[in-house]
């Protein structure tokens, strides 16, 4: 499993490298730091994030494995997937928020005690069950990937939960949750060239929104598909997600990559196959700038 403490340990190890920078971009409801990691010297920022959804915590492990391999290749002056990483480092800055929803991740992995003073509340929201394996929301029962002001009203109207729930409740208004606020603020400040949000599951890559995506998005997603075998999907009937909001407002490339296949939470036994399939996406996203 890959929980918040594992992430903190991995970040501590990465900070030993002079070319890895980290900063706290906000805090979760339970005051856990939401950390951004940066690698690179370029003015072109490529952003990646993981674990918007609590029971998709394997995405954090995958993204951090990408980062470690990138750092190792930089340190050893090696190529990665055929690309010269020294050139990528000079030309781009990689921005990674590896765990958007640390409270939710720890709830799924460690149970109600991880909710601290929200313990009784999460059990109530979960219908009295102490099995949190299907929990996607943050600790207040808000689905963080339904929090963004891109036709948020449409999702609010049609989502079945009208109050905090383990999944799908978009909140009482957009950007009420500190985790979503942190990502939104970071995105505005950094002026990202493109964004990749890692989720599970389905082996699909969503790449269009409301015809706002740029022409080059199709060419790039086809490159991702060649590396991964994942299926590009231009439009889905969904709004208020982070990627939706980014494409809608910036008219730039944004992708949701649905890693692996099966039923969430995916077993950690899928990690190596997921990583092998998706490492090419990670490097290509940096190279195509």
Cβ burial 148-167 (10 Å sphere, 16+ → b, else e): bbbbbeebbeebebeebbbb
Question: HEC profile for 240-251?
Answer: CCHHHHHHHHHC
Active site residue 56: no
- For 77, left (φ over 0), alpha (ψ -120 to 50), or beta? left
Sequence-distant (≥ 6) Cβ neighbours of residue 254 within 8 angstroms: 194, 195, 196, 197, 207, 209, 213, 217, 243, 244, 246, 247
Smallest Cα–Cα separation from 282: which of 52, 48, 82, 86?
Answer: 48
Contact 186, 246 (CB under 8 A): no
Apex 116 CA angle, 161 and 107, nearest 5: 55
Active-site residue, from 36, 179, 213, 258: 258
Structure token pair of residue 108: 């799924």
- Distances from the Cα of 238 to the Cα of 168, 190, 232, 275, 287, angstroms: 11, 26, 16, 27, 29
Q: Which residues have a catalytic role annotated?
A: 258
């Amino acid at each position: 499993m890959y929980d918040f403490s594992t992430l903190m340990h991995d970040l501590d190890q990465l900070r030993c490298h002079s070319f890895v920078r980290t900063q706290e971009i906000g805090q979760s409801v339970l005051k856990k730091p939401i950390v951004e990691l940066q690698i690179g010297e370029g003015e072109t920022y490529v952003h990646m994030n993981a674990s918007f959804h609590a029971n998709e915590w394997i995405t954090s492990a995958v993204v951090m494995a990408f980062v470690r391999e990138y750092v190792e290749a930089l340190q050893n002056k090696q190529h990665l997937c055929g690309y010269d990483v020294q050139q990528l480092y000079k030309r781009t800055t990689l921005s990674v928020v590896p765990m958007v929803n640390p409270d939710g991740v720890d709830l799924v992995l460690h149970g109600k005690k991880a909710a601290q003073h929200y313990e009784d509340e999460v059990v109530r929201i979960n219908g009295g069950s102490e099995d949190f394996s299907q929990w996607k929301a943050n600790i207040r029962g808000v689905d963080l990937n339904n929090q963004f002001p891109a036709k948020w009203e449409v999702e609010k109207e049609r989502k079945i939960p009208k109050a905090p729930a383990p999944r799908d409740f978009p909140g009482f208004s957009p950007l009420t949750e500190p985790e979503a606020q942190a990502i939104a603020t970071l995105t505005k400040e950094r002026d990202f060239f493109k964004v990749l949000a890692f989720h599970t599951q389905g082996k699909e890559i969503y790449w269009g929104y409301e015809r706002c995506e740029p022409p080059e998005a199709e060419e790039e997603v086809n490159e991702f598909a060649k590396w991964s075998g994942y299926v590009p999907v231009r439009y889905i009937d969904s709004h208020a997600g982070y990627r939706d909001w980014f494409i809608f407002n910036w008219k730039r490339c944004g992708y949701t990559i649905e890693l692996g296949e099966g039923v969430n939470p995916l077993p950690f036994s899928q990690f190596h196959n997921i990583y092998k399939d998706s490492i090419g996406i990670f490097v290509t996203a940096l190279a195509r700038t």
